[in-house]
Amino acid sequence: MVVFEELFPVLSFGRLKGKTMIFSESMLRTISQSMATTSCGGTDLETCRDESGALTLKFVAIAAILVAGVSGVAIPLVGKKRRFLRTDGNLFFAAKAFAAGVILATGFVHMLPDGSTALSDSCLPKNPWSKFPFSGFFAMVSALATLVVDFVGTQYYERKQERTQASEARVGPSDSDGIVPFIEAKDPNGKVFGEEEGGGMHIVGMHAHAAHHRHNHPQGEESCDGRRGGHDHSHGHGHSHGFGLEDGDEEDGGIRHVVVSQVLELGIISHSVIIGLSLGVSQSPCTIRPLIAALSFHQFFEGFALGGCISQAQFKTLSTTLMACFFAITTPAGIAFGTAISSSYNPDSPRALVIEGIFDCVSAGILIYMALVDLIAADFLSKRMKCNVRLQVLSYLMLFLGAGMMSALAIWA
């Protein structure tokens, strides 16, 4: 009873209401200070300020970055039928590893430190911006959100593919192909062809049988030459029943490329807008000059990686063109928009620092996830890499070279 009497004043409604009011007022004051548009600092405004020179350099930047973006995204798309630029060639594989290194360094070395610097600026109120590592938190949240989008997108396209295969299986093979409809075939173990361990029918395997008329029963570990250890049953009638494992792998790979290309474009566009806007609002030629070279370099190789993913996804021509054009014009459009509002926009205000810092950290999380999971891990853990030592060495060298070169650009930009 004595305990309740001591706790009652602490838990009283009036005292709780008073603390809530104090907390609310403090939070509103913090938000108001963070969203202020008055200038704070402003080294860019006092040092090397030249509006006419900066405007000229912005037009140069728009042209250079547009050409670099178009060239990067177009090379894999236009050259996919060329022998030395085919998406299944070793040269493309190594170039994609270089581009992955560039994207990884962009996230770790350029976007994340910039976001951390903005969110820890002395202009912002110390509570809460100096009390918690928001830069790493926003990057982590965006990476996890990208994982969810990646997973949900993959599940969606897989279900869509399964529905398409099921409808094709019900219709059956076309008579124009000259293929006799397959009714049932059993292997020596008594299982119907295409039947999986759980009793379900493997639709892909049924299509493979109808299309190729092969009969082999692979068992054991898959080797690098595309064959499996085990026994083959050849028949005198000259046809065979393939289980379609390779076809299934290709379909799964196609689904992954569709999702990867869309999520990668989302991540690239989100940070392209920010860096374009940052360049556009700057009135300092000393800041713009090194950015032109750095942005052109990383725009080219980001475009190459995105173009490779789009090419592997095998979109229709209209979708491919729209995705490529949207990527190519995003950064120049951000520069143009930043130039248009540069007279009224104050990049050194607390509001600008918060918005830019959050977007930089979010973009860093997306780019880091995409580079590590969907570009580097997907290619470097593949069967092709495992079975080709020369390609392993070349790809690792290109990966480290791309990351190193993009990191070195942070010295100037």
Query: What confidence tier does 241 reach under pLDDT thresholds 50, 70, 90?
Result: very low
Question: Do 227 and 364 lie in a common domain?
Answer: no
Burial of 376 (0-12, 13-18, 19+ CB in 10 A): buried
Q: How far apart are CA 16 and CA 35, in angstroms?
A: 29
Looking at the structure, do residues 155 and 189 belong to the same domain, yes or no?
A: no
Cβ-contact 303, 327 below 8 angstroms: yes
Decide: residue 294, CB within 10 A, 0-12 exposed, 13-18 middle, 19+ buried: buried
In a domain, 60, yes or no: yes
Q: Identify whether 168 is part of a domain.
A: no
Choose between 231 and 339: higher pLDDT: 339
359, 357, 344, 43 alpha-carbon torsion, rounded to 10°: -150
Residue 210, pLDDT score: 41
Is there a domain that residue 1 lies in? no
- The mean predicted confidence, pLDDT, of the chain is 76
Q: Pick the last residue of a domain from 224, 246, 268.
A: 246
Residue 26 has pLDDT above 80, yes or no: no
**85-109 mean pLDDT:** 88
DSSP annotation string for 229-293: EEE----TT--B----HHHHHHHHHHHHHHHHHHHHHHHHHHHHHHHHHHHHH---HHHHHHHHH
| Residue 13 counted as domain residue | no
Domain presence at residue 32: no
Q: Which residues pair with 228 in a beta bridge?
A: 222
- CB environment 64-101: b (16+ within 10 A), e (fewer): bbbebbbbbbebbbebbeeeebebeeeebbbbbbbbbb
pLDDT tens for each residue of 45-91: 446 888 899 999 999 999 999 999 999 999 888 876 676 667 778 88
The verdict on 220 and 132 lying in the same domain is: no
Report the C-alpha gap between 46 and 41 in whole angstroms: 10
Flag whether 9 is in a domain.
Answer: no
- Residue after which a domain boundary falls, among 216, 246, 276: 246
Map residue 186 onto helix, strand or coil: strand
> Which one, of 58, 117, 21, lies nearest residue 353 by Cα?
117
Q: Are residues 287 and 398 in the same domain?
A: yes
122 and 269 within one domain: yes
Alpha helices by DSSP H, 79-217 = 90-105, 112-119, 126-129, 134-171, 203-212
Q: How many domains does the chain have?
A: 2
| 15 inside domain | no
Contact (Cβ atoms closer than 8 angstroms) between residue 341 and residue 135: no
The CA distance from 131 to 117, in Å, is 14
User: Which amino acid, one-letter code, is at 61?
Assistant: A
For residue 245, pLDDT beyond 50: no
Greater pLDDT, 190 or 273: 273
Other CB atoms within 10 A of residue 15 CB: 11
Q: Determine the Cα–Cα distance for residues 281 and 333; give it in Å rounded to an integer.
A: 13
**283 and 213 within one domain:** no
Reported as a pLDDT band with limits 50, 70 and 90, residue 106 is very high
Note whether 148 and 289 are same-domain residues. Answer: yes
Domain final position from 229, 246, 263: 246
Structure tokens at 7: 């706790």
Q: Which of 249, 188, 247 is nearest to 219 (CA)?
A: 188
Q: Are residues 236 and 92 in the same domain?
A: no
Least trusted range by pLDDT, from 80-94, 143-157, 279-293, 340-354: 80-94
Residues 231 and 88 both lie in one domain: no
| Cβ-Cβ contacts under 8 Å for 330 (sequence gap 6 or more) | 268, 269, 272, 273, 276
Residues 220 and 328 both lie in one domain: no
- Most confidently predicted of 41-55, 189-203, 264-278, 381-395: 381-395
pLDDT at 70: 95
Q: 272 phi and psi, to 5 degrees?
A: -65, -35
Rounded to 5 degrees, what are φ and ψ at 223? -100, 175
Q: Is 273 in the same domain as 342?
A: yes
33 is a domain residue: no
Q: What's the rounded Cα separation, in Å, for the pair 335 and 280? A: 4
Domain that holds residue 217: 175-246
Q: Are the C-beta atoms of residues 410 and 298 closer than 8 Å to each other?
A: no
Answer whether residue 140 shows pLDDT above 80: yes
Position 366 pLDDT exceeds 50: yes
Residues 382 and 324 in one domain: yes
